[in-house]
Amino acid sequence: MGVSGYADPNGPMVYRGIYHLMYQYNPKGAVWGNIVWAHSTSTDLVNWTPHDPAIYPSQPSDINGCWSGSTTIMPWGTPVILYTGINPQNQQVQNLAMPKNLSDPYLIEWVKLPNNPLMAPSSLNQINASSFRDPTTAWLGPDGTWRVLIGSKTDRRGLAILYRSKDFINWIKSQHPLHSAKDTGMWECPDFFPVLINSKLGVDTSTLGPDVKHVLKVSLDDTKYEYYTIGTYNPDKDIYVPDNGSVESDLGLRYDYGKFYASKTFFDSLKNRRILWGWLNESSIQADDIKKGWAGIQAIPRTIWLDKSRKQLVQWPIAEIEKLRGHQVHLPQQVLKGGLSLEVSGVTAEQADVVISFKVSDLGKAEVLDPSWTNPQVLCSKKSASVKGSLGPFGLLVLASKGLQEYTAVFYRIFKGQNKYVVLMCSDQSRSSLNNSNDKKSFGAFLDVDPVHEELSLRSLIDHSIVESFGGGGKAVIAARVYPTLAIDGKANLHVFNNGTENVKIASMSAWSMKKAQIS
């Protein structure tokens, strides 16, 4: 990967059959600074070709850094980028760049408008010059006017500032934000897009109508977690109203309950799906990042759609990732007795795709859920994989060393709540590494599945320092970053475990060794 610091995905798009991903990048080291837009292309979203940076500081409006932004595809097919630049006064301003040569499907060269910036803080608009960044993909209203959001804050109130334009060059700030929420702090990397009510297919960002809901996602600078709400967009009033019961904080709905930030979606017009990109930051200390020469990676792209409950989104790794599957191992259906674990051999446990389903029959034995246990991350920390329960913990031990001195545990516990069973999904990094300088905190989510009528499915994609786990078919996702010291260099193992007192049934289980993606 070379010496580098990778961060926010920027401006993802598909153009003339080629996928593009740009991202925040420091060409001079594995730490934050000197930010440009690195640029890679792919025909399959799996194997990538790096190019020269697409956007780098070159005019007053971005001379101190080219920060995040998005691509908008014009109705005639031309991509246009809006991005945040840092000007000589270190103010955050919004700029525009266009491809130099539209006949080049790789879009190697980009040109900036000479009259950048197009949007800037002023004494008139009272925008906070240090909190005005990350323009979204713009959308075109039925009135022929473009709209775009920029993240901001006033005191502790997070804002999605709305601008409008007829020509994409002259932008006028709306009197009111599209949406705001108190006590959330700065909203970074906002994303606003429609999702179909009765389909897994994606739609163009400008799609309106009775068969779509809207999603607003923001990244919280204060906590470095994201959250989203599902709601209704009124194009006449230009306001977004989250559905009743929406939680406006990172205790609400998240794409990912682990290390996942600065995410961005785009509409893939080739396959009519919406694809989500996200940045997985490090769990290692900066000195270790500098030693290894890189920091930060992009998560595997995920397809994203509205769950049939209409209460949350669902994500799944793009189908193309399955092209990397190699040797496959099956486990036959069997009962996994309480207190036992099974080693799964014949798979390269450092690079694997593991899919397993559990069936639990005797739910009457479930532990009672204490009403004060409302924060799943805290509950997963308190009840780690080594803490015996009744129905659970059961799941996978990944990147496990031979004597289990190191392992990352991804598992379920089932509790008896008020008039329903509650399923907790955890990713427990507490024993992931003997290197105690790593951040080894646990992550957790409550999973909206009914264990009475449904199997509990779990899919984990494992790639050395990365464990991305999808619970309940993608209803809850947790990405973790781990740096084992023993479970490396071909010495990692994979286990299925049950540390509860009750038996669980393995309904099905497959694991694949995964080949390396080509980056060339």
Judge contact between 355 and 510, C-beta under 8 A: yes
Q: Distance of alpha carbon 105 from its chain centroid, rounded?
A: 27
Residue found by looking up tokens 């790639």 in the block: 463
What is the C-alpha separation between 427 and 405, in angstroms, rounded?
17
209 contact partners, CB below 8 Å, separation of at least 6: none
Judge contact between 412 and 456, C-beta under 8 A: yes
Judge contact between 280 and 296, C-beta under 8 A: yes
Torsion from C-alpha of 397, 401, 405, 406, nearest 10 degrees: -60
Q: Is 8 a catalytic residue?
A: yes
Judge contact between 390 and 415, C-beta under 8 A: no
What is the C-alpha separation between 415 and 422, in angstroms, rounded?
5
Work out the burial of residue 17: count CB atoms within 10 Å of its CB; fewer than 13 is exposed, 13-18 middle, 19 or more buried: exposed
What is the C-alpha separation between 134 and 68, in angstroms, rounded?
5
* Amino acid in the structure at residue 303: T
Sequential DSSP letters for 382-430: HS-TTS-BSS--EEEEEEE-TTSSS-EEEEEEEEE-SSSEEEEEEEE-T
Residue found by looking up tokens 């920060």 in the block: 67
Q: Provide φ and ψ at 378, rounded to 5°.
A: -65, -40
What is the C-alpha separation between 12 and 517, in angstroms, rounded?
19
CA distance between the termini of the chain: 10
| From 8, 134, 191, 463, active-site residue | 8
Sign (positive or negative) of CA dihedral 19, 160, 448, 430: positive
Give the catalytic positions in this structure: 8
